[in-house]
A and B are shown apart, each in its own frame.
Chain A
Amino acid sequence: MKDNVESYVTEDGRTIGGLLMEMKSITLRFGGVVAIKDISFDIREGEIRAIIGPNGAGKSSMLNVISGFYRPQEGEVWFRGKPRPSMKPYQVARQGIARTFQNIALFEGMTVLDNVMTGRLTHMKAGLASQALWRGAAEREETENREKVEKIIDFLEIQAIRKTPVGRLPYGLKKRVELARALAAEPMLLLLDEPMAGMNVEEKEDMSRFILDVNDEFGTTIALIEHDMGVVMDLSDRVVVMDYGRKIGDGTPDEVRGNQDVIDAYLGVSHD
């Protein structure tokens, strides 16, 4: 574990910075159901942090806690060395956090371009009148935002579907469009909820490459949930393993792979 160092450089030459987010003894309950039980871990700047675990382990809930959508009953979320107050979703977005969803949440009737443009919402400052009249600031902003969006379209290689309504796209591409929208917000922390679920091998490889490239080119910190162990182990710098709402492992992929609790949780354990 590299808990105590300020920053370090990975084998492939990326710099991992200091602590970006800290989960401190988080407990989350829905009525009588305890979804997350006393979990602590941190996310460092510039790293790819995976959260894995069997079905119902509480991974998505954890992601919702990080994004500020759920408020834990106990424990605190620290952001850049300070406790984070409870926030509205738009405040979270302004803080530089963007996410994708397990069940794609795009505007099906809108084109890919328009969908990705919605990701720029927090960067649009022009007033209502200006927007309606399409003069001055609004027009200028649109041009700037479009430029940013086109860079992302180019980056994710979705030029061919720029003008296609999202509803007509296959699943794998929708996932990519969702990633594009999240990236359009120029987040410092990107939360990906099962970015590779339901994809075939080729699509998974493409998506993995995009995630690595995003991290590498934009320096975006990424926290992701994923079921495919092979993918997780290849992509991540550090992995948190959850089971039944508890944290049962935390460390580099190699450390996690050797952890007996993790092996038991995934392969099952005999009770005799």
Chain B
Amino acid sequence: MFTKILIANRGEIALRILRACRSLGVGAVVAYSEADRESLAAQLADEAICIGPADAKHSYLSAPAVISAAIVTGCDAIHPGYGFLSEDEGFADVVRAHDLAFIGPSAEVLERFASKEATRRILSAHGLTTIPGSTMLRDEDHALEEAERIGYPVLIKPSAGGGGKGMRLVRNARELESIFKVSRSEAKAGFGDDSLYLEKFLEENRHIEIQVAVDRFGNAIHLFERDCSVQRRHQKIIEETPSPALTDAARQDLAERALKAVSAAGYENLGTLEFLVDSKGDAYFIEINCRIQVEHPITELCTGIDLVALQIRIAAGEPLGITQADVVSNGHAIEFRILAEDPAKDFRPQSGQVGAYLAPGGPGVRMDSHLYPGYEIPSYYDSLLGKLCVWAPDRAQAIARGDAALRELLVDGVITNIELHRAILANQVFIDGKVTTSLLDRVGSAPFVAAGNR
């Protein structure tokens, strides 16, 4: 096991990793930017080190700053969390070159799965169905040709993108012509890589992902699925497990196929395979996330397995220590992403000082958040304030606990999406388990909030 881990991230995930380190008895150093000097992770840590200015480019995204901090504080491993440097194979490689361990897949594995297009090819060769898509687009003519072959509507996707960023929906050739160049330059600006590809757009789909864990010795387990169909502009806002859209047999089958394909492809460490599931129940593989996911706690609540601790143990070269038979998913869990966004003003991100803060409690309630009263939310980073997760023996009780917990949750001083969550919970489409990824965007959030207030 490692002796000391540098936590190269911020917000709630820095805190989550710190907690995992403590429960494993491993030392931890929180690396923070100047804007996060007062962050809870930096305050709770036994050691904390300022690695740069507020601008993430020169702090959380700066490989030299992060690695130098790990070296001068005597760490032997770096946990990148999610986002920032977490899936950068170049960073993983440099970390290893400095005799430090990267907590995540090796650079080789990250590189193999870095391109979504290549990943789809690899995993379809290992038995997963993929959405009809194109190869990398050479130019506009090539794009038009491929779109014709796949059939409109199609999505233009940046190969290096993630979390739905930079994606564009195109319904016909004219739209494709007008948007192609813009997409290319956006991809270049956003990800430093202008490679684009097309994918068939499934109108009414659900987003379902399978959590897997593979150790260095080839032992592999899946930890069932998470349903992330409640989204706004391709950003997940509510996740739950099990998926209300899959029968027990279907979830078992999907999880087993995903695990088989990913371990045959030589994957290592924690990973999440994302699928779109259409109205007929067919699952199409879209991408693999080679990191801990924001929504990992709901899997932890149902399986009782600490995923961050497991991730650290795998990276340290330890065997899984459990088999598939040990992984049992119990009850139902739901996660609400609490965001500093104003639903009434096009979800504009909010910053400012948190006044009173009260986290909810009670049976089956878990709050992963870096908030505290008086905390100043910096404007430099994302708007995630925390994740409220609830567990109950079944879905109906989980929804009831979720609503009770959301009512208790108090975040003064900034506008949040707490009321939107309550409105979604009260909506019949959600109660029936029939939400598709485009629902919120199609109807807008206002009707949800209005209906919730009645």
Chain A bound to chain B: no
Which residues does B use to contact A, with CB under 8 Å? none
